[in-house]
Chain A
């Protein structure tokens, strides 16, 4: 009997479209594009700040224009997806044991969300004060 194993061709670019879990994974990965873009927006802001009041206020106007707000809303959506997907897997990457028992994953995740709310609150307070 002769062997002739068949290797099935692979969809290297579109494989992720075949299942919901892979699509969600790709969205999670795509959050990096928005985070990178937002970092670029911050860097431009720093450059304009260095160029003087007129340049900086033109930058602010652009950021706060409808287009600018659209970008920030999209960026926020992706950033939030990054936050939730990051927090949700933390118990897997860093399992905790306390008093010989595994700390429930939900507790670890909940602590992260609590910390997130506190940090966000502090940031808003520091800026607004």
Chain B
């Protein structure tokens, strides 16, 4: 049996999973719930404030890192879940899952570079 190349995908999965475990809940609260529910003021997400953060190279890097790791964590887990549902065509599933993650990654990079 040959040594697997899965360590690459799994490292991204594990890194993304760890980041998601620590950061994603509070991120969801900040970007989606804190303002409408009233415990943070509306201007934290204002256009001007968002631009300030995301025109900063460090801000771009941080947001990219978060999105990148979340995407590749989700992509790998989705691939495994497809297998758990009995879908045998692993190559096809791999191409779809990692392909979507790759596409989203490229879109994120271009979008961030143009902000």
Contacts and interface: CB of A to CB of B under 8 A. Distances in A.
Given A29-B80, A87-B21, A128 B44 contact: yes
Interface string B43-87: 011010011001000000001001100110111011011001110
Contact residue range for chain A? Answer: 35 or more
Contact of B74 (A26, A32, A112, A127): A32
Contacts of B66: 42
Given A60-B45, A76-B29, A43 B20 contact: no
The dominant DSSP class at the A interface is helix
A33 B28 CA distance: 14
Interface in B85-102: 85-86
B11 interface: no
A46 B25 contact: no
Candidate in B23, B24, B28, B71 with the most chain A CB atoms within 10 angstroms: B28
B9 interface: no
Nearest to B13: A32
Given A36-B75, A79-B20, 16 more contacts: A35-B70, A36-B70, A36-B71, A39-B104, A40-B104, A46-B112, A49-B54, A60-B45, A72-B28, A86-B20, A112-B21, A119-B26, A120-B25, A123-B30, A124-B30, A128-B40
Nearest 4 pairs between A and B by C-beta? A12-B86, A72-B32, A36-B74, A32-B77
Interface of A: 12-13, 16, 26, 29-33, 35-36, 38-43, 45-47, 49-50, 53, 56-57, 60, 63-64, 68-69, 71-73, 75-76, 79-80, 82-83, 86-87, 112, 115-116, 119-120, 123-124, 127-128
23 contacts: A12-B86, A31-B77, A35-B20, A35-B73, A38-B28, A38-B70, A39-B67, A39-B71, A40-B104, A45-B31, A46-B54, A46-B111, A63-B31, A76-B28, A76-B32, A76-B33, A79-B20, A82-B20, A86-B18, A116-B22, A119-B26, A120-B26, A124-B30
